[in-house]
Structure 1
Amino acid sequence: MHAVVPAAGQATRLGELTDNQPKGLVDIGGQPLLEYVLNTAIEAGADELIVIIGYEAAQIIDRFGDVCDGVPITYIHQREQLGLGHAVLQAESQIDGDFLLVNGDNIFTGSVRPIVDASERFDVVLGVEEVSPAVAQT
């Protein structure tokens, strides 16, 4: 199964944290944000990672290379950041069949494997995670 990971945006709301690096490389608990996302996709069963890159793309490629934990990474450059739907469309030629979409800036506390397993019974499955109000405000 392919996993599509949009990670092209500049994240201007993060201010100085992303002045010289993409949001996916912001350190969260000792590792880049994007590393959490890629590991989530791999744990869910991804056998290929398709990472949509844009702002400071070379830094992401330099950090992760061609493989993450034995799973190959294909990079697709999104020349213009025109939203999430546009980012996913950039990967269309690489996808054959079902795929997992995990936003490049989402960290999940649990496994998304049950969502992938549910996709065998449904055409589309959307997973969400409840966040406490205190966390949502930070």
Structure 2
Amino acid sequence: MKVVILAGGFGTRLAEYTDVIPKPMVEVGGRPILWHIMNIYASHGYNEFIVALGYKGEVIKEYFLNYYSVNSDFTVDLKNGGIEHIHKKPVDWKVSLIDTGLSTMTGGRLKRLKEYIGDETFMLTYGDGVADVNIGDVINYHREHGKMATVTAVHPAARFGELVVSDEQDVLSFKEKPQTTQGWINGGFFVLEPEFLDLIDSDSTVLEETPLEKAAAMGEMKCYYHDSFWQCMDTVRDRNLLEDLWEKNKAPWKVW
């Protein structure tokens, strides 16, 4: 089953990084967040990726063209131009890098990939979110309910500490930045049937608006509840949180 990753946005809230590189190439633990996302899928046996490029897509292309040189030591024979990678660790991934336009919206980017996706069930996620979600369980759930679309529902991380207070104003508990237990949001990690693409009109279509709203109105969308770790990387603060977890060897999404 193919994995589509939306990696073409401008990432304006991460301008400290994205003035130079696209958001999916912002590093956590010395590796692009895109690499982390792909490893989540690959750890569950899904290693065929289609990456929808847009803003600074050439940076992502260059990364994969030079993947082994970037991620291993090497020797260059300047006499004949030969390159020998030292302690090379082969990665069994097939990665298609497709330019879907600079200003194309999320739905439009997905629609442009129709010929590469084909007529099979596929997965879709964003190029800026990680989780310890069990991909196999999401797929099994999708197959069981038989609908057109499955979205992984997650609890967003709280921005501030949570206090539980009694009527007498005693603090009964204090949790530092817990995941909220109120409300679910779209966490990506979709499983979709190919006919979902027919709900997308044009490049200007936003995935989260018309297509997903139509699928829901048709009774063709179910949600898979993931109540464990999930974190997007919208801001520098988000990126620093992920970096801190990685550096402390406490990264829940590192399932490989």
TM range (shorter): 0.7 to 0.9
Whether the 8 Å contact between 1:43 and 1:113 is mirrored in structure 2 is no
Distance across 2 between alignment mates of 1:117 and 1:66: 35
SS at match of 1:128: strand
Residue 129 of structure 1, aligned match among 125, 136, 154: 154
Q: Could you tell me how far 1:46 is from its partner in structure 2?
A: 2.3
Distance across 2 between alignment mates of 1:45 and 1:119: 17
List aligned pairs for 1:1-138, cutoff 5 A: 1-65=1-65, 69-96=91-118, 97-121=120-144, 122-123=146-147, 124-134=149-159, 138=237
**Which portions of structure 1, spanning 4 or more consecutive aligned residues, are displaced by more than 6 angstroms?**
none
Unaligned 5+ runs, structure 1: none
Q: Could you tell me how far 1:63 is from its partner in structure 2?
A: 1.4
User: Which residue identity is paired with 2:134?
Assistant: S
The count of residues paired between Structure 1 and Structure 2 equals 138
- Structure 1 residues 120 and 82 mapped into 2: Cα distance closer, same or farther (>3 Å)? same
Distance across 1 between alignment mates of 2:30 and 2:98: 26
Q: Could you tell me how far 1:75 is from its partner in structure 2?
A: 1.0
Q: Could you tell me how far 1:65 is from its partner in structure 2?
A: 3.3
- Structure 1 residues 47 and 38 mapped into 2: Cα distance closer, same or farther (>3 Å)? closer
Per mean C-alpha deviation after superposition, the further-off stretch among 35-44 and 100-109 is 35-44
Unaligned 5+ runs, structure 2: 68-89, 160-176, 178-230, 238-256
SS at match of 2:36: helix
Distance across 2 between alignment mates of 1:12 and 1:42: 29
Higher Cα radius of gyration: 2
SS at match of 2:21: coil
Q: Could you tell me how far 1:66 is from its partner in structure 2?
A: 8.9
User: Which residue identity is paired with 1:90?
Assistant: R
Kindly, what percent of the aligned residue pairs are identical?
Answer: 24
SS at match of 1:45: coil
- Structure 1 residues 24 and 125 mapped into 2: Cα distance closer, same or farther (>3 Å)? same
- Structure 1 residues 80 and 25 mapped into 2: Cα distance closer, same or farther (>3 Å)? closer
Q: How well do the aligned residues superpose, as a CA RMSD in angstroms?
A: 2.3
Higher strand share: 2
Distance across 1 between alignment mates of 2:153 and 2:65: 29
User: Which residue identity is paired with 1:132?
Assistant: A
Taking structure 2 as the reference length, the TM-score comes to 0.49
Q: Tell me which of the two structures has the higher relative contact order, counting C-alpha pairs closer than 8 angstroms and 6 or more residues apart.
A: 1
- Structure 1 residues 98 and 45 mapped into 2: Cα distance closer, same or farther (>3 Å)? farther
Whether the 8 Å contact between 1:66 and 1:72 is mirrored in structure 2 is no
